Amino acid sequence: MKHMTRKATRHVNQNEGLIFEKSSAGKAAWKLPPLDVPEVDTAALLGASERKDLGNMPEVSEIEIIRHFTRLSTWNYAIDLGMYPLGSCTMKYNPRVNEAVARVEGIANGHPYQPEKISQGALHIIKTLSEQLIEITGMDAITLQPAAGAHGEMTGLLMVRAYHQSKGNARKKILIPDSAHGTNPATAAMVNYAVENLKSDSRGMVDIAALEAQMNEDVAALMLTNPNTLGVFEQDIHKIADILHAKGGLLYMDGANMNALVGKVRPGDFGVDVMHLNLHKTFSTPHGGGGPGSGPVAIKKALEPFLPTPVVTTKSDGTLGFDYNRPQSVGRVRAFYGNFGMFVRALAYIQANGPDGLRQTTEDAVLNANYIRKGLEGTYDLPYSTPTMHEVVFSDKVQLKKGVRTMDIAKRLIDYGFHPYTTAFPLIVPGALMIEPTESESKEEMDLFIEAMKSIAEEVEEDPQTVLDAPHSTRVSRLDETAAARKPVLRWKPAVLQPE
Amino acid sequence: MRYLPKSPADREGMLKTIGLRSVDELFSPIPAEYRLTRDLNIPRQMAESEIVDFFRQRSRENGDGYTSFLGAGAYFHYRPVIIDSLISRGEFLTAYTPYQAEISQGTLQSIFEFQTMICELTGMEVANASMYDGSTAAAEGVMMAVRLTGRRSVVVARSLHPEYREVLATYATHQGMPLSVAGFGDDGRVNLKELEKSITPETACVLVQSPNFFGTIEDLAAIAEIAHKHGAMLVVSIAEAVSLGIVEPPRDADVIAMEAQSFGVPLGFGGPYCGVIATREKYVRQMPGRLVGQTVDKQGKRGFVLTLATREQHIRREKATSNICTNQALVALMVNIFMTVYGKVGLKELAKQNLAKTAYAAGQFAKHGKVLFGGTPRFNEFVVQTTEDPYAINSRLLGHKMVGGLPLKKFYPELGNAALWCCTELTTRIAIDTAVGLVAESERSVRSSSTKEEVEEVAR
């Protein structure tokens, strides 16, 4: 481990139990103002519905809560600490101005049902972001209602189904490449479409001959990620769209990898009919430990009648309002209007970038991935030599000879001060290392990453056990996931139940 | 561009290392005819100060400074300051799903505590790490019951949030899940006779909300008995989480689908919020969403991991319990901190204040208008029926920088001129008295006048 001190140094961090273990009766972190209306007799008001006891809810003071969560926070790795090259997740910098503007009073406290007359600010934000996302994607219309990427997929496929239904036949199946995210087939099932697997060719792209053979009038759509999960742009995208369109099918694009395209090419221009975006990936809204996301769905004109309700519209007096009267709509996919707070952040991101900034961002993201590819080629096996866009996928083929797998290398990377890449995905690459640096990494940070990866490869040759036992520097070592699943402990319980 | 950490020399050097002459070569895999040769048609780069100005302006156009009596699934409660202090820590804000447990123990332990507190509050045995919101959680809760019972049809209470019903209808349409609706009686609760009639041997579950959309607390014991007698499950939606401080949780439910926005999540014009599903241990393998479990590391030290992943889309693909992947972790952390701040005693006191304000407001309104469903226990919402159209009343209230109750005509035309009013601990007596005064004034003027013109005069 000759290089590791360049990126990270071990330091003491605090131990901390569960909050319940700090609780004792009489401590409090809250204070309510005096009641300015008469007290009520809860028993009289609620009768049998009155709750008497709140069980084991904690009782702690404010300083304990601050320390508790601050201590927990120091056990996390985060983008703010360094490179977080999770492939397919686009872990880019989350600008702080986005957080500041999302907390401006009228934006943070706007009620979804307040009259339109006093909602013009929020409606303006929704409309502006919608228009800009339409321009960025080259599509014709959009809904911001879906709460995450997978939710967007569902919304998109509902519109696909409604479109086909309006032509008299909803069709039976969705084609999904074997390199796709797991959400794609799971979504197709939720919308009651059968899933048919489509194999990739030797370049890691859609096998055109297979597509031609499998495409028929039963196919509602192809769900394609472009660039795909290998970070490869589907060069035959136009042919793919033509094959689908010739038989009346639609091209759905999973926009998870849109960070490779913004400002350089628009899906609407290369034949996509419906696509979702992930505001938490491409448009910098924070990942927050696993959400909130936001998954707008952009569509071509032919699908517009099927958008979820409501749709923001300009009224005759020039003000903005919601249009609920859309008889062909697929309905609602969520209460209210979606994750509005994420719209605010995404719009602030686009504003900070402008057209030149967005283009430069994309160029840097692709440049970074290619720089890493160049740096690690020869050290790690590159199963597909097709040009790389925003992410690069290696395999553990070389290291496997010493019994070391992608997950072991990932765990060892933690000791070098990095978050691991995505492991074992896409499924078409056995033992995949999927690396997406994003535009947010400097040359220095990536040099350290390349150095760390090379150092680990050397360790695999000289001392594989060190890699197999990694991580060595974390609070906890590898956790027993099998035991966790076999006998699930999903909540805390008091150690000893005292008899009453 | 200020977010990009590279100098032109860095870029040039990197290109050289890769062996390319220009950035354009990086994009050569994209067929030339599709490459964009112009700037995107969006405004130029803005300075941070300009961005802040833009959103401050939007804020001023967005109800800033108004006192509101709106609830209906989105509640204005006080948010302790430390929530934002803590969730703004980059280690929470800028981490992702805790796939790598060794460097995600902070997120994992906090979710484990969240799951525990949701169980304590709902009386259930297991809770997941969050869902998108209350509406989608209700739909997913119903789908869970469909998988568990092997039956397909669903009976939904008309007193469930109308937008939750719409979302369920969207989810159910293509899954062969016929929905039927059970109406409400004069007491503002599910009509039990109608409910029982709607249940068939094919009914997978009954979905009700309590406190329901009108703020009324349902007779859940009776509903559970009816559902269970026919082999159907009971799925209960809770949209106002603060009610759990003083209202007995639905212990007879099989699945609880919650919206936890009330626990420290800003109204934010409708999202992001925090859905949760809680259920019994025996049903856990049919639960959607992430779950955190306790385990040990190689040295036997306590630690936490994402668990039971074989239910999920990245393992099971089209056979998964749901397609959900990213959920609402950071919002769940807000909820977690809120629950920790108020805790065992504070939540009860908080709920009591909501109850007291609402009892006072409903009492005052009853002197001048008709408060519906009066004999039934309620939490912090109530329905006021007026002579005048509530839209007209509300436009007058707006002139006093007040937002009146939600007119119900769109959702419940059968209730006539009715509006749903909400009070929380933040509603002051002065605001209540002012609103009641304005409504009373309008009622008097409408009753004393028979011409429609005059009503509109006042409304303007």
The answer to whether residues B149 and B257 belong to one domain is yes
Residue B458 has pLDDT above 50, yes or no: no
B299, burial (CB in 10 Å: exposed 0-12, middle 13-18, buried 19+): exposed
Angle between helices A340-376 and B48-60 (to 10 degrees): 150
In this structure, what CATH number is given to the domain that contains residue B382? Answer: 3.90.1150.10
Q: Are residues B250 and B366 in the same domain?
A: no
B228 and B299 part of one domain: yes
CB contact, 8 Å: B251 with chain A?
no
Q: Do the domain assignments include residue B188?
A: yes
Q: Judging by beta carbons within 10 Å of its beta carbon (0-12, 13-18, 19+), is residue B379 exposed, middle or buried?
A: buried
Q: For residues B279 and B293, what is the distance between their CA atoms, to the nearest angstrom?
A: 15
Measured between beta carbons, the chain B residues lying within 8 angstroms of A308 are: 170
Q: What is the CA A256 to chain-centroid distance, rounded?
A: 7
Nearest by CB: B58 against A19, A107, A195: A107
Q: A439 and B4: CB-CB below 8 Å?
A: yes
B326 and B180: one domain? Answer: yes
Same-domain pairing of B196 and B230: yes
The lowest-confidence range among A9-13, A242-246, B137-141, B256-260 is: A9-13
Q: Provide the residue range defining the domain that includes B270.
A: 81-339
Instruction: Give the 3-state secondary structure of residue B351.
Output: helix
Q: Is residue B2 part of a domain?
A: no
Burial of A440 (0-12, 13-18, 19+ CB in 10 A): buried
Alpha helices (H) in B367-428, listed in sequence order: 390-399
pLDDT digits (tens, 9 = 90+) for B358-395: 999 999 999 988 999 988 999 999 999 999 999 999 99
DSSP character string of A312-377:
EEE-TTS-EEEE---TT----SSSTTS-HHHHHHHHHHHHHHHHHHHHHHHHHHHHHHHHHHHHHB
Same domain (yes/no): B296, B429: no
Q: Residue B53 above 60 pLDDT?
A: yes
Query: In chain A, what are the domain boundaries?
Result: 97-350, 360-484
User: Residue A7 has which token pair?
Assistant: 């990126």
The rounded radius of gyration (Å) of the Cα atoms in chain A is 26
- pLDDT tens-digit map of B176-203: 899 999 999 999 999 999 999 999 999 9
Query: Residue B349 corresponds to which tokens in the numbers above?
Result: 């006191």
The pTM of the full predicted model, rounded to 2 decimals, is 0.96
The interface predicted TM-score of the complex, written ipTM, equals: 0.96
Q: Is residue B16 part of a domain?
A: no
Q: Which helix (H) or strand (E) holds A32?
A: none
- Note whether residue B436 is domain-resident: yes
| Residue of A73, A230, A235 to mutate for B, most B C-beta atoms under 10 A | A73
Tokens matching residue A14: 């605090």
pLDDT tens-digit series, residues A447-493 = 999 999 999 999 999 999 999 999 999 999 999 999 999 999 999 99
The reply to whether B386 and B400 lie within a common domain is: yes
> Residue B135: inside a domain, yes or no?
yes
- What is the number of alpha carbons within 13 Å of residue B67 lying toward its C-beta? 18
Kindly list the distances between the CA atom of residue A470 and the CA atoms of A409, A459, B144, B184, B345, in Å, as whole numbers in the listed order: 8, 12, 39, 60, 44
What are the strands of the beta sheet with A392-395, ordered from one edge?
A392-395, A432-435, A422-423
CB-CB neighbours of A431 under 10 Å: 20
The C-alpha atoms of residue B301 and residue A476 are separated, in whole angstroms, by 7
Answer yes or no: do B51 and A351 touch at CB < 8 A: yes
Local structure of residue A473 (DSSP, 8 states): S
Same domain, B384 and B269: no
Residue with tokens 């009892």: B359
Interface check B82 vs A, CB under 8 A: yes
Among chain A residues, the shortest Cα distance to B349 is held by A32
Cα distances from A288 to residues A76, A357, B160, B246, B270, in angstroms, run 11, 24, 31, 31, 19
Query: Which residue of chain A has the CA closest to B164?
Result: A335
CB contact under 8 A, B173 and A331: yes
* Neighbouring C-beta atoms of residue A123, cutoff 10 Å: 22
Determine, yes or no, domain membership for B223. yes
Query: Which residue, A302, A474, A109, is CA-closest to B62?
Result: A109
In a domain, B144, yes or no: yes
List, for residues A408-443, the tens digit of each pLDDT value: 999 999 999 999 999 988 999 999 999 999 999 999
Residue B217 lies in a domain: yes
Domain boundaries A97-350, corresponding CATH code: 3.40.640.10
Would the CB atoms of A37 and B349 count as touching at under 8 Å? no
Query: Do residues B86 and B210 both lie within one domain?
Result: yes
Return the percentage of chain B with pLDDT > 70, whole number: 97
Tell me, yes or no, whether B213 and B358 share the same domain.
no
* Min distance B432 CA to chain A CA atoms (Å): 10
Cβ partners under 8 Å of residue B253, min gap 6? B124, B220, B224, B234, B235, B236
Question: B156: which DSSP letter?
Answer: E
Distance, C-alpha A337 to centroid of its chain: 19
Does B294 share its domain with B348?
Answer: no
Residues B218 and B185 in one domain: yes
Where residue B459 falls among pLDDT bands split at 50, 70, 90?
very low
Residue B318 sits in a domain whose CATH number is 3.40.640.10
Q: Provide the number of structural domains found in chain B.
A: 2
Q: How far apart are CA B341 and CA B79, in angstroms?
A: 10
Question: Does residue A13 carry a pLDDT above 50?
Answer: yes
Please judge whether B115 and A491 are an interchain contact, meaning their C-beta atoms are less than 8 angstroms apart: yes
- The 10s digit of each residue's pLDDT in A334-387 is 999 999 999 999 999 999 999 999 999 999 999 999 999 999 999 999 999 999
At the top level of CATH, the class of A360-484 is alpha beta
Task: In whole angstroms, give the CA distance from residue B331 to residue B327.
Answer: 9
